[in-house]
Structure 1
């Protein structure tokens, strides 16, 4: 569940725009939940998503977390852009694994906010990667 107040109701146009993310759709990622300050995104790893070691490519794991981060940080309808993302890869995965990324806002300070992002494997609930990310919110809104 979100760690910040979600008393704001999401406007359907904002939710629709986030769910139509072209890159997420191209990857086959599903945006399961999106709320102000929180999002959960999942996908099933295919053979095309592996590196030459037959493990899930790190770029895919990063991208899944980034999609969750973007959804959570933009869910208020205010344009938010990543300033920094640091990731630690903790466990390999492979074809058929179902990955789940959750992004949670842990601090909001003016135009910036800090997010914790975790990627787990759905079946075994094993921690695959952990990220911390900072977002900058512009004055403009969308939706």
Structure 2
């Protein structure tokens, strides 16, 4: 799925601007990573919640589009801990699906293994064109 990974990120300018890469994908699964940079911090010096959400959302999008073109319908994120590492890793996987709807869980950890966030998302499957 290397071609899928490269094409998906090549078409996602926002992911590129944050330095997000897809390091692994398979049917209904994606693992994305990003190096934490100074531009990702909030006013308190911690990584901004919007950056964590973006990483989780991009992993979700990469996972749900591995099989069929899909759009996000809902996303709910819970921030669990402050990252202590230098990299964030998001893994998205399907937990339930029907012909039109897929339910996904996304976990975000840092490279020290600290759980940073957990996201639950729903994707709607589009008809092929």
Alignment pair present for 1:55 and 2:43? no
- Partner secondary structure for residue 88 of structure 1: strand
Matches within 5 A, 1:1-143: 12=3, 14-20=4-10, 21-76=12-67, 78-93=68-83, 97-122=86-111, 124-140=112-128
**Match in the other structure for 1:7:** none
Aligned counterparts of 1:75 and 1:17: Cα–Cα separation in 2: 12
Report the alpha carbon displacement of residue 30 of structure 1 after superposing the two structures with TM: 1.3
Aligned-residue CA RMSD in angstroms? Answer: 1.7
User: What are the ranges of 5 or more consecutive residues in structure 1 without an aligned counterpart?
Assistant: 1-9
* Structure 1 outlier segments of 4+, above 2 Å: 14-17
Is the 8 Å Cα contact of residues 19 and 34 (structure 2) preserved in structure 1? yes
Is the 8 Å Cα contact of residues 100 and 124 (structure 2) preserved in structure 1? yes
Is the 8 Å Cα contact of residues 5 and 24 (structure 2) preserved in structure 1? no
TM-score, normalising length: structure 1: 0.83
**Match in the other structure for 1:3:** none
Report the alpha carbon displacement of residue 15 of structure 1 after superposing the two structures with TM: 4.1
User: Structure 1 pair 98/138, CA: closer, same or farther in 2 (3 Å)?
Assistant: same
**Match in the other structure for 1:5:** none
Aligned counterparts of 2:100 and 2:118: Cα–Cα separation in 1: 24
- Partner secondary structure for residue 59 of structure 1: helix
1:57-96 deviations in Å (ceiling 9; x for gaps) = 00000000001000000012x21000000000011136x6
Corresponding pairs, count: 128
